[in-house]
A and B are shown apart, each in its own frame.
Chain A
Amino acid sequence: MENLSLMFAPLFSSKLMIVLVFGTLFGLILGVLPGLGPTTGGALILPFTMTLDPLSAIVLLTAIYCSATYGGAITAVLINTPGTPAAAATCLDGYPLAQKGEAGRALGMATVSSTIGGIFSVIVLVFFAPLLAKLAYEFGQPEYFALAIFGLTMLASIGEGSPIKNLIAGAFGILISTIGKDFMTSIERFTYGINELSEGIGFIPVVVGLFAISEMLTQSTLLNQVFKRVALKAVKLPGILDYKKTWKTILRSSGIGSFIGVLPAEGGTVASLIGYSEAKRWSKNPEEFGKGSVEGIAGAEAANNAATGGAMVPTLALGIPGSATTAVILTGLIIHGVRPGPDLFREQPDFLYGIFGSMLIANILFFIFGFFGAKVFARITLVPNKLLWPMIFAVSVCGTYSLSQSILDVWIMLFFGVIGFFMRRYGFSVVPVIIGLILGELVEGTLRQSLVIFEGNWLLFLTRPIVVTFFVLSLIALIFPLLRKKRT
C-alpha cells in the first residue's frame, strides 16, 4: 500500500510532469507518422536521455511507448495506413467507418478503448510485476537460460510472417551479440582485426538501422503512393449505445492484450490481431466487421495499448523484453545503470512505482491530447516524405554517433539499414533480431554458467522443474504457430 502511494509521486514533480507531457506529445507524433513508431522513436531519443536522471529518462521512454501505440490509430482511421504495426488491425474497421463520415466517432472509440486498455495494463503491471519478481528469486542460471530460450521461441509467433523466418532472424540477432570479446574468456570473435569491434556491436546502431534506415529505403520505393485522406471535424466521445455495444469487448481485449504483453517478445502487434479476431468471434454482429464496426476498433485498440503495461512486466521483473520497444527501454535502463530484475523491486521501489505511475498518467495524457488534438496530429501526416526522411536521417546519424562517439557505429547503422530493408522485403521480421540481440548475452552467459554448475552434463538441465516447465512452454511456442499456419 505504501508502494502504491509512490505511484503518484510524478504528479508532484514538475520536472517529471514536463517530461511526461513532452514524451506523450512526441510519442503521438511518432505514432501518427507511418514508418516511425515507439521503437524507432525510443532508439532515436535514447541519446538525449543521457542528460536526464534515470527516472526521468525511463518515464520519457515509457510515455513515448504508451502514446505512440495509441497515435498509430489516428493514421489508421484517417488514411488507412497504420502509423505503427500495432494499429494494422484498427485500419480494418476504422477507415471504413471514417469513410461513412464518422471519422470522429471512430477516433473517439479508438481513444477511449486505448486509454482503458492502457490503464488496465498498468494495473496488471503494478500487481503482477512484483509477484513475478518474487518468483524470480527462485531462479538460478539454468532457469534464466530456460526462460531466455522460452522468450526466443516466442519469436516464432511474432506477427503474421513465417515462424521459421522469425526464428532465423532471432538466431541472427543472437549471432550479432557474439561479435567482440567473449565476456567469459576475452577471446575475440568475428572482429577480423577491427579494434572497434572488440567491444561488440551496440544496440542502438542496430535498432536505428533496422527500423529507421530500412524504413527510409522502404519509403524510397513508395514515392508514387497516394493516400486517400478522410476529413476529420472533431473527435467524438462514444455514445451510450456504443459503450453498451463495446464494453465487454474493451475489457476482454484489455485482458488479452495484457496477457500477450506479459509473454516475452510478444507485443502490441500480436495483441491487436488477437484482440480483433476475438472481438469478431464473440460479437453478436460479426458481419459488420470490416465494414466499420466500432467493436472491431475497440477490440484492436484496447488490446494493443494493454500490451504496453503487460510488456513492461517481464522487462522490469526479469530483464527479458516483452516487445521490441521494451528492448529499447531495457537498454535505457542499462545505460542509466539500472539493472532490471528482482533486486530492483527490493532496492528501488520508488523508482519502479514512479514508472508505473508515469505510465498511468501517460495514458490519461494521451486521452486528453488525442481527444482535443487529433485533428492537429493528423496534419503531421501532411509533411511530405521527401522532407521528413532526410531530416530523420540527420537525427539518426547524429544520435547513433553520439552514444559512443564512434563513426563505426554510423557505418554499422547504415549496414543494418540495408540488411533490414531486404529482410522486410523477403518476409523476415526485424523485431526478432532486436530481441535476439538483447537476449543473446543472457542466453550464452547462462548456458555456459549452467554448464559449469552441471560440470558439462547437459542432462542435468532436466532435473530442475522450472527449467523443464520453460522447455515444455518453448516446445508449445514452437509448435503452436506452425499448427496455426497449417490450419489457415
Chain B
Amino acid sequence: MNNVQKQKRANKSLPFFFKDEFKVSFIIIFVSLVLLISTFTFDIVPPILNRGIQPATFPKGLLVLIIILTSVVYYLSLKKPWDIKKKLPQSFYLTLLSFMFFIIVSKTLDFFLGISLLSVFVSYCWGERRIIYLLLVSIIFPIIVFIFFETILGLRFPPGIITNIYYQV
C-alpha cells in the first residue's frame, strides 16, 4: 500500500470536522456570516436619497450567494471527496513567519530593513548558504530597488532608521 492510499484510508476514518472539505466550507460560511451580520450595521439611506437599493443590499446578496454556493460545494464533496493534500513543509511556515516578521520590522524599525531581513531569512530557509548570494538578495538588490523607485518614480518611502539616514532627517 503506497503513501497516498494510506493517507486516503486514514482520511476516510477521520471525523467529518477534521476533513479539509468541512474545514474550508466552515471557514468560508463562518466568515460570510460574520460579514453578513456586519452589513446590518451599515447606515440606511432615507428613501428620498435612496438610488435603487440600499447600500447594504448588494453585499448582503453576494454573501448569501457565497454561503449557498459553499454549502453546495460541501454537499458535493460528501459524494466526491477532495484530493488529499500533502502536509505543508516547514519551509512554508517559515516563509509565512517571515511575512509577520517583515510587518513588525517595517512598522517599528524600517521598511527597507524589513525587506532585507525577509530576503536573507527566506533565502537561508530555502537552502541558500553562500554568503555572497545572501548579501546580494538582502543588501545589494534592495538598494538597487530603493534607488530605482526613489529616483525614477520619485517615490518617498516611509520613515525608518535607514531611510531617515538617506533622507537626512
A residues contacting B by CB (< 8 A) are: 47-48, 50-51, 162, 164-165, 167-168, 171-172, 174-175, 178, 182, 184-185, 187-190, 192, 216-217, 220-221, 223, 384-387, 389-391, 393-395, 397-398, 401-402, 405, 407, 410-411, 414, 417-418, 425-427, 444, 447-452, 456
Docked-complex contact A189 and B53, CB < 8 angstroms: no
Please indicate the chain B residues that have their CB under 8 angstroms from the CB of A426 in the complex: 20, 24, 82, 85
4 closest cross-chain pairs (CB), A and B: A451-B52, A448-B52, A390-B119, A386-B126
**Which of B1-9, B10-18, B55-63 is near enough to bind chain A?**
B55-63
A138 to chain B, nearest CB (A): 22
A397 with B51, Cβ < 8 A, contacts A51-B153, A418-B96, A426-B82 known: no
B120 to chain A: which residues have CB within 8 Å?
390
Tell me the minimal C-beta distance from A440 to chain B in angstroms: 9
Closest CB in chain A relative to B120 CB, distance in Å? 8
A390 touches B122 (CB 8 A): yes
Contacting A402 at CB < 8 Å: which of B35, B51, B149?
B149
Closest Cβ of chain A to B62, distance in Å, is 5
The residue that B73 contacts in the complex, of A51, A164, A411, with Cβ under 8 A, is: A164
Max chain B C-beta neighbours (<10 A), residue from A178, A185, A190 = A185
B73/A190 in contact, CB under 8 A: no
Contact B122 A389 (CB under 8 A): yes
Q: Across the two chains, which residue of chain B brings its CB closest to A407?
A: B158
Contacts of A452 in B (CB 8 A): 51-52
Q: Which among B42, B70, B122 has the greatest number of chain A C-beta atoms within 10 A?
A: B122
Q: Which residues of A contact B89 (CB under 8 A)?
A: 220-221, 223
Query: Shortest CB–CB separation between residue A386 and chain B, in angstroms?
Result: 4
Cβ of B33 under 8 Å from chain A: no
Known: A393-B115, A451-B53. A425 touches B92 (CB 8 A): no
Task: Name B's interface SS.
Answer: helix
Q: Which of B42, B94, B106, B142 contacts A407 (CB 8 A)?
A: B106
With contact pairs A168-B28, A187-B45, A189-B55 given, residues A397 and B122 touching in the complex (Cβ less than 8 Å): no
Contacts of B136 in A (CB 8 A): 387
B88 pairs with A190, CB closer than 8 A: no
Bound-state Cα–Cα, A226 to B113, Å: 33
Nearest-neighbour CB distance to chain A for B65, whole angstroms, equals: 5
Task: Identify B91's interface contact among A192, A223, A402, CB under 8 A.
Answer: A223
User: Does the CB pair A390–B123 fall under 8 Å?
Assistant: yes
How many residues on chain B are close to A (CB under 8 Å)?
Answer: 67
Minimum CB distance partner of A168 in chain B: B69
Binary interface encoding of chain B residues 7-46 relative to chain A, with 1 for a CB under 8 A from any of its CBs, else 0: 0000000000000100010001000000100110011010
Could you tell me if B127 and A223 are in contact, using CB atoms closer than 8 angstroms? Answer: yes
Q: A172-B66, A175-B66, A394-B145 are in contact. Are A387 and B59 (CB under 8 A)?
A: no
**In the complex, chain B residues 67-81 whose Cβ is within 8 Å of any chain A Cβ:** 69-70, 72-73, 76
Task: State whether A221 and B49 are in contact (beta carbons under 8 Å apart), knowing that A48-B153, A175-B59, A390-B118 are contacts in the complex.
Answer: no
Nearest residue, chain A, Cβ from B100:
A414
A172: chain B residues within 8 A (beta carbon): 66
Q: How far is the CA of A448 from the CA of B115 in the complex (A)?
A: 44
Q: Within 8 Å CB of A391, what residues of B?
A: 119, 137, 141
Identity of the chain A residue whose Cβ is nearest the Cβ of B137 in the assembled complex: A390
> Which residues of chain A are near B76, meaning CB under 8 Å?
162, 164
Q: Which residues of A contact B106 (CB under 8 A)?
A: 407, 410
A386 pairs with B42, CB closer than 8 A: no
Q: Complex: how many Å from CA A162 to CA B83?
A: 13
Q: How far is the CB of A428 from chain B (nearest CB, A)?
A: 9
Task: Give B59's nearest chain A residue, CB to CB.
Answer: A178
Q: Would you mind naming 20 contact pairs between A and B with Cβ atoms under 8 Å apart?
A: A50-B153, A162-B73, A162-B76, A164-B72, A165-B73, A168-B66, A168-B70, A171-B69, A172-B66, A174-B62, A184-B51, A187-B55, A217-B92, A221-B89, A390-B119, A394-B141, A394-B145, A398-B146, A426-B24, A452-B52
User: Measured between C-beta atoms, what is the minimum distance from A480 to chain B in Å?
Assistant: 17
B-side contacts of A47, CB under 8 Å? 153
Closest chain-B Cβ to A47's Cβ sits at a distance in Å of 6
- Whole-angstrom CA separation of A450 from B136 in the bound complex: 56
The CA of A401 and the CA of B63, in the complex, are separated in Å by 30
Name the contact of A387 in the complex, choosing from B86, B91, B123, B155 (C-beta under 8 A).
Answer: B123
A394 touches B115 (CB 8 A): yes
Q: Which residues of A contact B138 (CB under 8 A)?
A: 390
CB distance from A403 to the nearest CB of B (A): 10
Which partner residue on chain B sits nearest A406 by CB separation? Answer: B158
Kindly provide the distance from the CB of B78 to the nearest chain A CB, expressed in whole angstroms. 14
Flag B82-116 by CB within 8 Å of A: 1 or 0 each: 10011011011011100100110011000100010
- 13 additional A-B pairs beyond A171-B69, A390-B141, A398-B149, beta carbons within 8 Å, are A51-B152, A164-B72, A168-B70, A172-B66, A185-B55, A220-B92, A221-B89, A389-B126, A398-B145, A398-B155, A402-B153, A417-B99, A426-B24
Contact A402:B155 (CB < 8 A) given known A185-B55, A397-B115: yes
Closest B-chain residue to A455, C-beta based? B52
With a cutoff of 8 Å between Cβ atoms, the chain A residues found around residue B95 in the complex are: 216-217, 220
Contact status B63-A221, CB under 8 Å: no
* A189/B91 in contact, CB under 8 A: no
